[in-house]
Amino acid sequence: MLDEIVIMGGNEKKHDSLDFAGGKITTIMGGSDIDLRDCQMRPGRNELDIMCVMGGVDLKVPPHWNILIEVSPVMGGVDDKRKVHEITNPDSTLVIRGFCVFGGLEIKN
Predicted confidence pLDDT, tens digits, the chain (109 residues): 899 999 999 999 999 999 999 999 999 999 999 999 999 999 999 999 999 999 999 999 998 899 999 999 999 899 999 887 777 777 899 999 999 999 999 999 8
Is the pTM of the predicted complex or chain greater than 0.85? yes
Amino acid at 24: K
At a CB cut-off of 8 Å and minimum separation 6, what does 87 contact? 64, 65, 66
| Short-list 72, 66, 68, 79, CA closest to 108 | 79
